[in-house]
């Protein structure tokens, strides 16, 4: 996020950042995107440790993250939700 801050503040003329970070501000303009397939997709997993002291609560939180409502929020910030097979 440092590069994004530099662009926002005008410290640099342009920068390469994750699209999801660029969507968090109205101080920058996205002028180009990497072509589809030109780089690996970034995956942000969610999981629970085997030694969790609160497994029921952790499962509930994971379920919340997978809900349609939350998926729409993620999509609004440029994320592409994936499903667990």
What does the domain layout of the chain look like in residue ranges?
1-37, 43-85
Q: Report how far residue 71's alpha carbon sits from residue 85's, in angstroms, rounded to the nearest whole number.
A: 16
pTM of the model: 0.62
pLDDT value for 50:
93
Q: Report how far residue 39's alpha carbon sits from residue 41's, in angstroms, rounded to the nearest whole number.
A: 6
Per-position pLDDT tens, the chain of length 85? 899 999 999 999 999 999 889 999 999 999 999 898 898 888 888 889 999 999 999 999 999 999 999 999 999 888 888 776 5
- Whether residue 74 contacts residue 19, with contact meaning beta carbons closer than 8 Å, is answered with no
């Amino acid at each position: 996020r440092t590069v994004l801050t530099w662009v926002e503040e005008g410290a640099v003329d342009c920068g390469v950042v994750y699209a999801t970070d660029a969507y968090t501000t109205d101080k920058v303009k996205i002028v180009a995107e990497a072509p589809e397939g030109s780089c690996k997709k970034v995956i942000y997993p969610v999981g629970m440790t085997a030694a969790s002291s609160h497994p029921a609560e952790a499962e509930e939180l994971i379920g919340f993250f997978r809900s349609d409502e939350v998926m729409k929020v993620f999509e609004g910030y440029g994320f592409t939700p994936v499903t667990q097979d």
